[in-house]
Chains A and B, each alone.
Chain A
Amino acid sequence: MWKIRWKLTVRGLAQNWAVFRESRVGMLGVVIILLFGVFGALWPIMINTVWDPLVYHPVVGFDPMVLHPSPPTRAHLLGTDPIGRDILAQLMFSTGREFLLGVLSALITVVIGTVIGTVAAYYGGFTDTFFMRVADIMMLFPFIPLLVVVGSMVRLTFFPFAMILGVLGGFGGITIILKAQALSVKVRPYIDAARVAGGSSFHIIRAHIIPNVLPLSFLYMMFNVTSAILSEATLSFFGVLNIDMSWGMMIHTADVAGYLFDFGKYWWLWLPSGVAITLFCAAFYMVGRGLDEVVNPRLRKR
Chain B
Amino acid sequence: MVLPATPDMPDADDAILRVERLSKYYPVSRGFFQRRHLLLHAVDDASFEVRRGEVSGLVGESGCGKTTTGRLIARLILPTAGRIFVDNADVSKIQGSDLVEFRQKVQMIFQDPYESLDPRMTIFDIVTEPLNVNGIGNLEEREERVAEMLSLVGITPPSAFLFRFPHELSGGQRQRVAIARALVVNPTFVVADEPTSMLDVSIRTGVMKLLAQLREDLGISYLYITHDLAVARYLCDRIAVMYLGKIVEMGTAEEIVKEPLHPYTRALISAVPVPDPAIRRPVPNIKGGLSKPINPLPRCRFYERCPDARGVCADQNHPELKEVSGGRFVACHVL
Contacts and interface: CB of A to CB of B under 8 A. Distances in A.
Interface string A68-82: 000000000000000
A200 interface: yes
B228 interface: no
Among A8, A198, A199, A200: residue with most chain B CB under 10 A: A198
Given A196-B103, A197-B129, A198-B100, A189 B120 contact: no
Nearest to B130: A197
Contact of B116 (A189, A203, A207): A189
B172 to A, nearest CB: 17
A300 to B, nearest CB: 15
Contact of B163 (A4, A198, A200): A4
B118 A190 contact: yes
A203 B100 CA distance: 14
Given A1-B139, A198-B133, A190 B76 contact: no
Interface string B97-139: 0001001101110111001111110100000011001100001
A139 interface: no
A8 B164 CA distance: 9
Contact of A192 (B76, B130, B133, B163): B76
Nearest to A197: B130
What class of interface size applies to chain A in its complex with B? 20 to 34
Interface in A141-185: none
B74 interface: yes
B120 A199 contact: no
A73 B122 CA distance: 60
B181 interface: yes
A189 B178 CA distance: 12
A125 B10 CA distance: 41
Nearest to B127: A197
Interface in A223-244: none
A81 B265 CA distance: 91
A198 B134 contact: yes
B133 A189 contact: no
Nearest to B115: A189
B116 A190 contact: yes
A190 B117 contact: yes
Nearest to B110: A189
Contact of B112 (A189, A197, A211): A189
A177 to B, nearest CB: 19
Interface in A82-113: none
A188 interface: yes
Nearest to B118: A190
A182 B124 CA distance: 24
A30 interface: no
A193 B108 contact: yes
A178 to B, nearest CB: 16
Interface in B65-92: 71, 74, 76
Nearest to A198: B103
Given A1-B139, A199-B129, A203-B133, A190 B163 contact: no
Contact of A190 (B74, B107, B115, B134): B115
Interface string A240-252: 0000000000000
Given A4-B163, A197-B129, A199-B133, A192 B110 contact: yes
What class of interface size applies to chain B in its complex with A? 20 to 34
A212 B118 CA distance: 9
A195 B112 CA distance: 16
Nearest to B113: A189
Interface in A1-36: 1, 4, 8
A198 B1 CA distance: 16
A212 B120 CA distance: 7
B163 A8 contact: yes
B117 A197 contact: no
Contacts of A188: 115
Nearest to A199: B133
B169 to A, nearest CB: 14
Contacts of B118: 190, 193-194, 208, 211-212
A196 B71 CA distance: 9
A227 to B, nearest CB: 28
A265 B13 CA distance: 97
B313 to A, nearest CB: 38
Nearest to A204: B133
Nearest to A214: B120
B139 to A, nearest CB: 7
Interface string B129-170: 110011000010000000000000000000000010000000
A189 B120 CA distance: 14
Contacts of B108: 192-193, 196
Contact of A200 (B106, B115, B133): B133
A200 B96 CA distance: 11
Contacts of A1: 139
Among A188, A189, A194, A199: residue with most chain B CB under 10 A: A189
Contacts of B185: 197-198
25 contacts: A1-B139, A8-B163, A188-B115, A189-B116, A190-B118, A192-B71, A192-B108, A192-B116, A193-B116, A193-B178, A194-B118, A194-B133, A195-B76, A196-B74, A196-B106, A196-B108, A197-B107, A197-B130, A197-B185, A198-B100, A198-B185, A199-B129, A200-B133, A203-B133, A212-B118
Given A189-B111, A189-B112, A198-B133, 13 more contacts: A1-B139, A4-B163, A8-B122, A190-B117, A193-B110, A194-B118, A194-B133, A196-B103, A197-B129, A197-B130, A198-B130, A198-B134, A199-B129
Q: Return the 5 tightest CB-CB contacts between A and B, nearest first.
A: A198-B103, A197-B130, A189-B115, A189-B116, A190-B118
